[in-house]
Amino acid sequence: MTTAGLLSGIRVLDLSRILAGPWASQTLADLGADVVKLEQRQGGDDTRHWGPPFVEASSDSTAERTAAYFLSCNRGKRSLAVDFTDADDLALVQKLAAKADVMIENFRVGGLQKFRLDYPRLSAINPSLIYCSITGFGQTGPDAAQAGYDAMIQARGGLMSITGEAGGEPVKVGVAVADLMTGMYAATSICAALYRRAVSGEGEYIDLALLDVQAAMLANQAMNYLVGNQIATPQGSAHPNIVPYQVFQASDAPLMLAVGNDSQFRKCCALLGAEALADDRRFTSNAGRVEHRQMLIPAMQSLFHLQPRAHWLNAFSAAGVPAGPVQSIDEVMADKQLLARQMFGETQIGDTGYRQLRSPIKLNRHAIDDQRGAPTLDQHRQQIVQDWLSD
């Protein structure tokens, strides 16, 4: 395996803050790109302060404190602190933009024009630049000027209307999935644009909106409405189109059962000692099980109560029926499969070490550069100026 990442040699100027943009640029850094994170001179990225918990950059009592939130989405980057109202700082940013292969920003629509960092101006001096704008509502439309945060987007984009227990209050997902998925769409689009640029030499402008992404993420729920006029409602852990596909309570703990076809259902019934359910014509097909779920699920639940979770998981695993434990975060961090896949590593910020998640991307020929931690504020100013502007 070579130590050079797939994006080795690609320069990314990251003007984004919070999560969606930083998640995209972190993915590019993992893939080998040189990501320069521009931050406000006073305080840096907001997420540096979104704690506790915090990590102290050193044992010095005046050391910078960095929130775990920031560490989660800024590994592998170099930090440069600037003030756009300072003429020298702004000139430096403009010079860096002229040298960049990729620029990511999440300012409000038109917010970079007064700094001469908008796409029309930059593409005129750097025609091969790939410029990615991430906003709440996109560059066009009646709400383009509005700010957008993940929780509000989950609400407006329909996700909260289908999340939670039946009859309960609207609930957001436990992590900022609209931001995270927008970041992944951004990284995917940027990589595609880099491929096209290698062929044509042309740059690209990418316009990503959190609301657009959230609507796209509705996936089968959206198509259930567009095709069948079915308006989804919260069903807890249950699935609108597949049954049985939900959490069941064993005698001691919950488990998630994910039966995806009729063969798996028959095996499941055999393990439960309920062959009669598999032979019942109401339940022999998935369509029938969806229609009659109110009769099937209670019958199955009464049987799950008879044995502890480990019994069921061992039996299902041996039979090839998909099922798994409902784990807490600490249990996930100790999961033997994740440990075997080396999904956790040790790194540091300043001279303080901490554990971090690693990239889920596994490549055979090119190393993933996910061992570096997040930077302290303005840590790499001299290096960046030397590396980017010396030629």
Name the residues annotated as catalytic. 179
CA torsion, points 112, 113, 118, 120, in degrees to nearest 10? 170
What's the residue count for the chain? 391
Question: Any idea what DSSP says for residue 319?
Answer: H
Indicate left, alpha or beta for 328 from its phi (over 0: left) and psi (-120 to 50: alpha). Answer: beta
Reduce the DSSP state of residue 111 to 3 states and report it: coil
* Residue 10 structure tokens: 């690609």
Taking the C-alpha atoms of residue 218 and residue 162, their distance in angstroms, rounded to an integer, is 10
Radius of gyration of the chain (CA): 25
**CA 150, 153, 154: angle at the middle one, nearest 5?**
85
Residue type, 87: A
Indicate left, alpha or beta for 170 from its phi (over 0: left) and psi (-120 to 50: alpha). Answer: beta
Query: Which positions ≥6 away from 263 have C-beta within 8 Å?
Result: none
Taking the C-alpha atoms of residue 74 and residue 24, their distance in angstroms, rounded to an integer, is 10
Taking the C-alpha atoms of residue 202 and residue 292, their distance in angstroms, rounded to an integer, is 56
Taking the C-alpha atoms of residue 118 and residue 114, their distance in angstroms, rounded to an integer, is 8
Taking the C-alpha atoms of residue 36 and residue 78, their distance in angstroms, rounded to an integer, is 5
61-78 in b/e form (b: 16+ CB < 10 A) is eebbebbbbbbbbbbbbb
285-315 in b/e form (b: 16+ CB < 10 A) is ebebbeeebeebbeebeebbeeeebeebbeb
Query: Which positions ≥6 away from 292 have C-beta within 8 Å?
Result: 282, 283
Question: Any idea what DSSP says for residue 9?
Answer: T
CA distances from 23 to 27, 71, 312 (A): 6, 11, 37
* Residue 149 structure tokens: 């945060």
Taking the C-alpha atoms of residue 310 and residue 323, their distance in angstroms, rounded to an integer, is 11
